[in-house]
């Protein structure tokens, strides 16, 4: 790294630079049913360099990869080539962020565990759920990651953050006679709780069985629909993305500070972009530019109150330096479990993808599996789609009073939408 920095500092063709490197240690297990087929450990370093060139009252940038096998002469040639490409980019001028030296490690109960021991414990937790008659886990892949992310730039930033995370990929399958149904599950975490892993996989085992017996209801109809945390996060990502500095600068954002997003009697949104969520693999101390992340509330009491985003666009807009935040926190609601069960509703379990179109005021999606809750009875449904006006949904939403933590979201576990069209 010292040699690379020296080459960048000595190059007169560039006005600034940023170096981003990820040193990654992985430990991987691959199972077919319960049989361990492959064990793999890897050590990799990925380094990307961005150079900046001031020219024609503008600033251009270009990025290239550096490999451990490259000589100084090869790196110098890459810097010059990138400088030439940067002169073809005409961005408004801005200064790179300033900063100092920082090294932090994200909290995790896995950081001191031996990888092989930890992987074996995770496998045991997964297969503890593989006990359903007619069901099995056809394939399981377990990935352990230890990553050290370092960002250095020409204005004094030299920051490192270390994070530990796990990803489990599993394919639960249910077979009845000659018919077989399977689901794909990806589960990510930074805090290992064996009972939670087992419960998550067991839920998927039950869901794949339910999908085998699911029926298509008579349609069209109108129903109350509940979204779970994954789809809640997708919806919030659309709202938050509209409030990013980049969109505000290009004037492509639909909503602006002071806009009221909710008219109606539903629970009011309290949406905050945050740097860290304990247990989330998306947590970070700083962003790709090395800017320290500052938690920022975007929507309060259903009204847009702030924007967020990267250093470059914050500079253009004269807005606060938030950093490009990657996690979302939604305030809890007022909907109790007893209140939810008081009226029939459809709970979405598996969707082909939630569709959110802010400009056309639309929310919808194809439902692969859902549960119809009615009078204490639960019926699995499939082969249906849902659609509604987004503004109507936001105005009347009810948010559960309990909260969960998922990959990049923490907040209510359920999001109740009223009077949704089902086809």
pLDDT at 43: 96
Structure tokens at 184: 């794909």
Residues 353 and 248 reside in one and the same domain? yes
CB 388 within 8 A of CB 211: no
Lowest mean pLDDT among 137-141, 163-167, 204-208, 342-346: 204-208
The pLDDT tens digits of the residues spanning 338-352 come to 999 999 999 999 898
Residues 166 and 227 reside in one and the same domain? no
Dist CA 184 CA 182 (whole Å): 7
Residues 218 and 208 reside in one and the same domain? no
Dist CA 75 CA 66 (whole Å): 7
Residue 420: pLDDT band with limits 50, 70, 90 = very high
Tally of domains within the chain: 2
What percentage of the chain has pLDDT greater than the value 70? 100
Question: Kind of pairing, strands 398-399 and 377-381?
Answer: unpaired
Query: Does the pLDDT at position 275 exceed 80?
Result: yes
Residues 51 and 177 reside in one and the same domain? yes
Mean pLDDT of 69-95: 96
Q: Any bridge partners for residue 166, and if so which?
A: 144, 189
Residues 232 and 198 reside in one and the same domain? no
Last residue of a domain, one of 163, 190, 212: 212
Dist CA 339 CA 341 (whole Å): 5
Last residue of a domain, one of 212, 239, 265: 212
Query: Does the pLDDT at position 110 exceed 80?
Result: yes
Residues 198 and 228 reside in one and the same domain? no
Residue 423: pLDDT band with limits 50, 70, 90 = very high
Task: Give 75's contacts (C-beta < 8 A, 6+ positions apart).
Answer: 4, 7, 66
Mean pLDDT of 81-108: 95
Dist CA 290 CA 284 (whole Å): 10
pLDDT at 274: 98
Residues 208 and 270 reside in one and the same domain? no
pLDDT at 133: 83
pLDDT at 131: 82
Residues 330 and 389 reside in one and the same domain? yes
> Cα–chain-centroid distance for residue 223?
29
pLDDT at 177: 73
Residues 207 and 224 reside in one and the same domain? no
Taking alpha carbons only, the member of 335, 333, 326 closest to residue 296 is 326
Residue 65: give its domain's CATH number: 3.30.2290.10
Mean pLDDT of 42-47: 96
Domain region containing 415: 214-423
Place of tokens 């500070």: 257
The pLDDT tens digits of the residues spanning 142-196 come to 999 999 999 999 999 999 999 999 999 999 888 877 777 787 878 899 999 999 9
Lowest mean pLDDT among 177-191, 262-276, 391-405: 177-191
Last residue of a domain, one of 179, 194, 212: 212
> Distances in Å between the alpha carbon of 413 and those of 235, 327, 357, 409?
14, 16, 23, 10
Mean pLDDT of 221-227: 96
Residues 312 and 262 reside in one and the same domain? yes
Taking alpha carbons only, the member of 284, 124, 54 closest to residue 190 is 284
Dihedral-angle region of residue 417 (phi above 0 means left; psi in -120 to 50 means alpha; beta otherwise):
beta
User: What's the 3-state SS for the chain?
Assistant: CHHHHHHHHCCCCCCEEEEEEEEEEEEEEEEECCEEEEEEEEEEEEEEEEEEEEECCEEEEEEEEECCCCCHHHHHHHHHHHHHHHCCCCECCCCCCCCCEEEEECCCCCCCCCHHHHHHHHHHHHHCCCCCCCEEEEEEEEEEEEEEEEEEECCCCEEEEEEEEEEEEEEEEEEECCEEEECCEEEEECCCCHHHHHHHHHHHHHHHHHHHHCECCCCCEEEEEEECHHHHHHHHHHHHHCCEHHHHHCCCCCCCCCCECCCCCCCCCCEEEECCCCCCCCCCCECCCCCECCCEEEEECCEECCCEECHHHHHHHCCCCCECCCEEEECCCCECHHHHHCCCEEEEEEECCCEEECCCCEEEEEEEEEEEEECCEEEEECCEEEEEEHHHHHHHCEEECCEEECCCEEEECCEEEEEEEEC
Taking alpha carbons only, the member of 167, 171, 314, 199 closest to residue 245 is 314
pLDDT at 51: 98
pLDDT at 410: 96
Residues 110 and 165 reside in one and the same domain? yes
Residues 200 and 74 reside in one and the same domain? yes
314 φ/ψ angles, rounded to the nearest 5 degrees:
-60, -40
Residue 233: pLDDT band with limits 50, 70, 90 = very high
The pLDDT tens digits of the residues spanning 13-44 come to 999 999 999 999 999 999 999 999 999 999 99
pLDDT at 376: 86
């Amino acid at each position: 790294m010292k040699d690379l920095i020296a080459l960048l500092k000595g190059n007169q063709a560039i006005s600034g630079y940023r170096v981003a490197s990820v040193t990654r240690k992985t430990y991987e297990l691959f199972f077919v049913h319960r049989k361990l087929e492959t064990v793999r450990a890897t050590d990799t370093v990925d380094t990307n360099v961005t150079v900046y060139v001031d020219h024609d009252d503008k600033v251009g940038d270009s990025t290239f990869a550096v490999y451990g096998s490259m000589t100084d002469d090869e790196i110098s040639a890459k810097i010059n080539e990138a400088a030439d490409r940067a002169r073809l980019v005409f961005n408004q001028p801005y200064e790179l962020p300033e900063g100092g030296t920082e090294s932090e490690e994200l909290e995790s109960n896995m950081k001191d565990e031996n990888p092989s021991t930890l992987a074996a414990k995770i496998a045991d937790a997964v297969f503890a759920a593989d006990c359903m008659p007619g069901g099995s886990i056809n394939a399981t892949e377990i990935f352990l990651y230890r990553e050290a992310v370092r960002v250095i730039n020409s204005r004094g930033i030299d920051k490192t953050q270390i994070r530990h995370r796990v990803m489990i990929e599993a394919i639960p399958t249910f077979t009845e006679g000659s018919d077989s149904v399977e689901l794909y599950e990806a589960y990510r975490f930074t805090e290992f709780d064996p009972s939670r892993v087992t419960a998550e996989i067991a839920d998927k085992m039950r869901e794949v069985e339910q999908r085998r017996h699911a029926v298509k209801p008579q349609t069209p109809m109108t129903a109350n629909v509940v979204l779970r945390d994954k789809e809640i996060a997708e919806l919030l990502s659309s709202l938050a993305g509209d409030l990013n500095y980049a969109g505000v600068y290009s004037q492509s954002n639909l909503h602006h500070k002071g806009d009221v997003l909710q008219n109606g009697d539903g629970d009011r949104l309290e949406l905050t972009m945050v740097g860290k969520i304990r247990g989330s693999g998306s947590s970070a101390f700083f962003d790709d530019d090395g800017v320290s992340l500052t938690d920022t509330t975007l929507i309060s009491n259903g009204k847009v109150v702030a924007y967020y985003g990267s250093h470059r666009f914050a500079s253009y807009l004269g807005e606060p330096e938030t950093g490009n935040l990657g996690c979302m926190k939604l305030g809890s609601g007022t909907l109790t479990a007893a209140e939810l069960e008081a009226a029939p509703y459809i709970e979405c379990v598996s969707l082909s993808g939630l569709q959110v179109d802010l400009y056309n005021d639309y929310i919808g999606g194809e439902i692969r599996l859902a549960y119809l809750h009615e009078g204490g009875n639960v019926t699995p449904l499939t082969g249906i789609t849902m659609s509604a006006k987004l503004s109507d949904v936001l105005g009347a939403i009810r948010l559960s009073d309990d909260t969960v933590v998922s990959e990049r979201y923490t907040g209510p576990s359920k999001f109740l939408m009223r009077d949704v069209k089902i086809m």
